[in-house]
Amino acid sequence: MTKQTLTIAVLAMLTALAGLSVQAQDKPAAPPKAAAPAASSSGKDIFPKAYYDFLLKERTAQGQPDSAEARNALREQLNTRELLAREARKKGLDKSPEIKTQIDLASQTVLVNAFVADWVKANPVSDAVLRKEYDTIKSQMGDKEYKVRHILVATEDEAKETIAALQKGEKFEKLADRSKDPGSKDKGGDLDWNAPGNFVKPFSEAMVKLPKGKFTTVPVQTQFGWHVIEVDDIREAKVPPFDEVKPQLTQRMQGQQLDAYVKELRAKNGI
């Protein structure tokens, strides 16, 4: 029923690529070329110090506590990993074509992450662009919100039968059992509070014409089927201030810019 107001696919890409997760980075793309220091009888660390410094920085940046216990736990983890990695190389597992492919893919992911982070940093979204987007969304929302129900059926005749039943006194919530919308069917057709801009045009146009407590006496057709709509309540729209939604707007605009760049890059390379 509702429009997808964000470019989900792009934001999913941005979310997946923009930050290196600890889990992803816990799988080094390849063993270091320089030999790691050997373990000593004194319990000296055998992993490259760069691994420790990198992961410690990442974890503290993510808000994890930086304590002696946490640092010791990280050292233990890296020492164990280094030992197991050495055993794997002794067995020649690093020569396996499948393992080499996994290593190559992990390395490529790191490069892509780095490029996207660098690209986003080099192409910031200005406050002027963000403000314009905010004003556009605000105007699309309108000044009112509607608590609305609907019953979605396959044919106009079914919708007319539903309207006739409502006019005879049947409860909207009961008749919603016949709805083909699985998201609202079990809730008496309830779609909760929404701005008109969240719905497809024929639905929103019919909705805003209804007084509180009334239902449509003529079926409403959209690409989803035929609707009978009832407005339970109407209130003034609550639009959050610009500063409150600025982070989400920034992510949205970055996603759109990245999407445009990737499309251009694909076109240049004949993909």
Q: All domains of the chain, ordered by start, with CATH?
A: 21-103 (no CATH), 144-236 (3.10.50.40)
User: Dihedral of CA 59/64/68/70: which sign?
Assistant: negative
Nearest to 5 by CA among 200, 157, 232: 200
The C-alpha atoms of residue 79 and residue 89 are separated, in whole angstroms, by: 15
pLDDT score for 43:
66
Phi/psi of residue 151, each to 5°? -125, 120
pLDDT along the chain (271 residues), means of 10: 37 37 39 38 79 92 91 94 95 95 96 95 94 88 91 98 97 96 96 93 96 97 98 92 94 94 95 91
Helix axes 8-18, 242-268, angle to 10 degrees: 90
pLDDT at res. 15:
37
In the beta sheet, which residues pair with residue 227? 152, 220
Tokens of 73: 């736990």
Report the candidate in 92, 120, 81 with the shortest Cα–Cα distance to residue 250.
Answer: 120
Amino acid at 218: V
CA-to-CA distance for 109 and 161, rounded, in angstroms?
A: 56
The residue type found at 266 is: R
> Distance of CA 88 to CAs 52, 93, 182, Å?
21, 5, 50
Whole-number Å distance between alpha carbons of 219 and 189 = 15
Q: Where are the alpha helices (DSSP H) in the chain?
A: 8-18, 22-25, 49-61, 68-90, 97-122, 127-141, 156-167, 172-175, 182-185, 201-208, 242-268
Structure tokens at 242: 């610009």
pTM of the model: 0.55
pLDDT reported for residue 238 = 83
Q: What is the pLDDT of residue 259?
A: 94
Closest CA to 110 of 239, 17, 249: 17
Separation between Cα atoms, residue 48 and residue 27, nearest integer Å: 14
Tokens 């930086």 correspond to 66
How far is residue 34's CA from residue 87's CA, in Å, rounded to a whole number? 17
